[in-house]
Amino acid sequence: MKDFIYKLFFGKPEYNKPIRDSAYMSHRKNFLRIWNNERHHDIGFEKILRLFLVAIQFIFPGIHVRNFFGKFGIIKRNVAIEFYVFLKTCLPVFFLYSGLYHYKITVIISSYLLFETICYVSSLIFVADMFVKPRSYRRNILMLFLNYIEISLCFAVVYAGLHLLGDQPKSTFDYIYFSVVTSTTIGYGDFHPVGEFGKIMVCIQAIMVVVFIVLFLNFFGSKVETLVHDEE
């Protein structure tokens, strides 16, 4: 059974190559590369954004997960990250159906994890030259899909916890439904935000998702097409 589980998640043992630098060291080197313009001649807002996206990762759990599990090899680190992303996707559902969304701390936690996802996905575009070429772009797209679901669910917690839909929802799922509909930019109109802050949050989510779909998924979609072409 143990061999079956290992084979299922990790494949062959020889794939699990050791990692030379810790996640902390890699991010520090990336920050210095951008600061010293070693890869690109960044100036102005572009350089500030790239420095911010690398530096901000130190305040999020993801880099600590990568650093800890990186001690056990690259494959085990990647699987640990996948479980972490999956956990972040499930956590908002737990908050909603356990009733914990009534507490402001859960809204803060959801917003914090949401911000981590936004910064990480943004870094895949604006700091792409700093990352090692992934083993599989298909895996990255799968992770991006989970990130997309997580964003919708985290916004649902924010809508529910801050009562941004007023008394319209009759069940917990209504918040998820509204968030998903907003994420798809369909907007049926059966639910609507209440107050200026609610409208601002809907605008932020709609803009964020449009950028996510058009820019990020198309970017990795082109990578997959290139990979398939190379394999052929």
Q: For the chain, what is the HEC assignment? A: CHHHHHHHHHCCHHHCCCCCCCHHHHHHHHHHHHHCCCCCCCCHHHHHHHHHHHHHHHHCHHHHHHHHHHHHCHHHHHHHHHHHHHHHHHHHHHHHHCCHHHCHHHHHHHHHHHHHHHHHHHHHHHCHHHCCCCCCHHHHHHHHHHHHHHHHHHHHHHHHHCCCCCCCCCCHHHHHHHHHHHHCCCCCCCCCCCHHHHHHHHHHHHHHHHHHHHHHHHHHHHHHHHHHHHHC
Q: Which residue has the higher pLDDT, 214 or 154?
A: 154
Identify the residue with better confidence: 194 or 139: 194
Q: Is the pLDDT of residue 44 over 80?
A: yes
Name the more confident of 225 and 11. 11
Q: What pLDDT, in 10s, does the model give residues 79-116?
A: 899 999 999 999 999 999 999 999 999 999 999 999 99
Distance (Å, rounded) from C-alpha 212 to C-alpha 148? 8
Alpha-carbon Rg for the chain, nearest whole angstrom, is 20
| CB within 8 Å of 126: residues ≥ 6 apart | 46, 49, 50, 53
Q: Between 141 and 2, whose confidence is greater? A: 141
Mean pLDDT on 58-81: 89
Tell me which of 178 and 124 has the higher pLDDT. 178
> Which span out of 61-70, 73-82, 121-130 was modeled with the highest average pLDDT?
61-70
pLDDT (average), residues 66-83: 87
pLDDT of 118 above 60: yes
Query: Which pLDDT score is estimated for 131?
Result: 66
Query: Residue 27 sits in which domain range?
Result: 2-231
Average pLDDT estimate for 152-167: 93
What confidence score (pLDDT) does residue 20 get? 76
Specify the pLDDT at position 126. Answer: 82
When divided into structural domains, the chain yields a total of 1
pTM equals 0.85
pLDDT of residue 83: 93
Q: Average pLDDT of 7-16?
A: 65
